[in-house]
């Protein structure tokens, strides 16, 4: 049955900017690993050469909105000089197939000639964002959708606190977070100067952390860790560290990434869905909305192997419950929508709706996930009404 929104006012359910409620995300990470190797997942999955075919394949499953990426390191080959040859075919494939794209501008990677710790990094990123916005404006008349800096909070931890990937620092997570926030804010300003219609999605993981059973002393540490998930968005809104230049209008659509391992005991194991300490995803979504008062997008969610379809059903049920409670969730993105080689060891990660291309260039479909998606889409069809209202306005 469709979720019940009879009690939700039009003000509580703002018009969605997205062409489809269910979306597909193409893994576009470009960071350098500990061993110095730079990843390029758009190339590793073959999506950069097959964008038109991939977009058409997703359209066949009712997915008209996707997340995709500009690879900054391949575009800015020298300071202030841009080679758009890696992204122009993707832009034109999107236009030709009628696909709406949320473009990531910085998905963990940057050009080698830049120092991410230097103040000039922010200027360089703002300049790149302006140039990218002009390119998109020249290629399409559609209102642009941007994710300037992907997962500021996770990147600050992985790259600045535990040296998992670039910039391979330890104990500098707070510093890196502030620098990434500066870059995000500067990029938002520039893309809006090019096109005031631009919509901005700030994407970060949604987590829940609790103290270990029987250890009352863990509670404060766990709660501090849990609340840290809001720091980047608080900085962008100016609620925290206003000297960074944040303001309420800098936050537009709140993107939350949510996977089965996003809840854990502090210093301990993952909390499994259904456990007594597991917090329903609907409550997490409601907390984000109560804190910021902005529409939400589940910007990433997915699972591996046989867990793909059951996990989608769980997340969709929780999203439906959140919407029924007045939380304006405007979309749900399967991420990654293609199988991909693992970051650290290149192992085959069977996570996608679509698999690796065969000798004929076709991608196999994971039937259980496709069937789950087909069953769920009518349930969320009402979300399309807000799209039609926005288009008609």
Backbone phi, psi, residue 57, to 5°: -60, -40
Identify the pLDDT of residue 181.
98
Nearest to 293 by CA among 323, 241, 252, 240: 252
Q: Cα–Cα distances in Å, from 130 out to 105, 190, 343?
A: 11, 5, 30
Identify the pLDDT of residue 213.
85
Number of H helices, E strands in the chain: 13, 14
Mean pLDDT along residues 95-100: 98
Identify the pLDDT of residue 34.
95
19 pLDDT more than 60: yes
Identify the pLDDT of residue 216.
76
Mean pLDDT along residues 6-16: 52
pTM above 0.75, yes or no: yes
Identify the pLDDT of residue 385.
53
CA distance 287 to 258: 14
Identify the pLDDT of residue 84.
98
pLDDT tier for residue 80 given thresholds of 50, 70 and 90: very high
CA distance 245 to 179: 11
* Residue 244 contacts residue 191 (beta carbons within 8 Å): no
Tokens of 379: 């349930």
Q: What share of the chain has pLDDT > 90, as a percent?
A: 90
* Residue 86 contacts residue 75 (beta carbons within 8 Å): yes
pLDDT tier for residue 221 given thresholds of 50, 70 and 90: very high
Q: What pLDDT, in 10s, does the model give residues 232-289?
A: 999 999 999 999 999 999 999 999 999 999 999 998 899 999 999 999 999 999 999 9
Q: What is the mean pLDDT of the chain?
A: 93
Q: What pLDDT, in 10s, does the model give residues 124-165?
A: 999 999 999 999 999 999 999 999 999 999 999 999 999 999
4 pLDDT more than 70: no
Q: Cα–Cα distances in Å, from 177 out to 125, 198, 229, 374?
A: 15, 24, 11, 39
How many other CB atoms sit within 10 Å of the CB of residue 335? 22
392 pLDDT more than 90: no
Identify the pLDDT of residue 2.
38
Domains annotated for the chain, with CATH where assigned, are: 22-392 (3.20.20.80)
Q: Cα–Cα distances in Å, from 132 out to 35, 72, 84?
A: 30, 10, 9
Q: What pLDDT, in 10s, does the model give residues 321-334?
A: 999 999 999 999 99
13 pLDDT more than 60: no
Q: What pLDDT, in 10s, does the model give residues 343-389?
A: 999 999 999 999 999 999 999 999 999 999 999 999 998 654 544 44
Identify the pLDDT of residue 215.
81
Sorted by sequence, the CB contacts under 8 Å of residue 377 that are 6+ apart come out as 21, 22, 62
Mean pLDDT along residues 17-43: 98
């Amino acid at each position: 049955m469709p979720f019940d929104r009879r009690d939700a006012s039009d003000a509580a359910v703002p018009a969605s900017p997205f062409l489809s409620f269910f979306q597909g995300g193409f893994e576009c990470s470009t960071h350098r690993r500990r061993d110095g190797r730079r990843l390029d997942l758009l190339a590793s999955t073959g999506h950069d050469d097959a964008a038109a075919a991939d977009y058409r394949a997703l359209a066949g499953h009712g997915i008209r909105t996707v997340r995709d990426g500009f690879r900054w390191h391949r575009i800015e080959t020298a300071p202030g000089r841009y080679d758009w040859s890696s992204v122009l075919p993707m832009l034109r494939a999107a236009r030709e197939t009628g696909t709406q794209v949320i473009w990531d501008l910085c998905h963990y990677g940057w050009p080698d000639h830049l120092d991410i710790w230097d103040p000039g990094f922010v200027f360089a990123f703002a300049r790149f964002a302006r140039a990218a916005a002009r390119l998109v404006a020249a290629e399409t008349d559609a209102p642009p959708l941007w994710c300037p800096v992907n997962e500021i909070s996770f990147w600050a931890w992985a790259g600045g606190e535990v040296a998992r990937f670039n910039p391979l620092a330890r104990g500098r997570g707070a510093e890196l977070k502030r620098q990434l926030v500066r870059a995000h804010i500067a990029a938002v300003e520039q893309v809006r100067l090019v096109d005031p219609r631009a919509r901005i999605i700030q994407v970060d993981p949604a987590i829940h952390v609790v103290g270990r059973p029987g250890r009352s002393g863990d509670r404060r540490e766990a709660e501090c860790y849990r609340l840290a998930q809001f720091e980047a968005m608080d900085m962008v809104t100016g609620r925290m560290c206003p000297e960074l230049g944040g303001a309420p209008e800098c936050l537009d659509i709140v993107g939350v990434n949510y996977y089965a391992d996003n809840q854990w005991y502090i210093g301990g194991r993952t909390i499994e869905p259904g456990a007594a300490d597991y917090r329903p995803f609907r409550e997490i979504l409601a907390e984000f909305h109560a804190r910021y008062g902005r529409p939400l997008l589940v910007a990433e969610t997915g699972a591996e192997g046989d867990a793909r379809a059951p996990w989608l059903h769980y997340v969709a049920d929780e999203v439906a419950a959140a919407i029924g409670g007045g939380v304006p969730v405007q979309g749900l993105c399967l991420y990654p929508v293609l199988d991909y080689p693992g970051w650290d060891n290149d192992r085959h990660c069977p996570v996608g709706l679509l698999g690796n291309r065969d000798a004929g260039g076709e991608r196999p479909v994971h039937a259980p996930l496709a069937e789950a998606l087909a069953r769920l889409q009518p349930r969320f069809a009402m979300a399309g009404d807000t799209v039609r209202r926005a288009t008609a306005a």
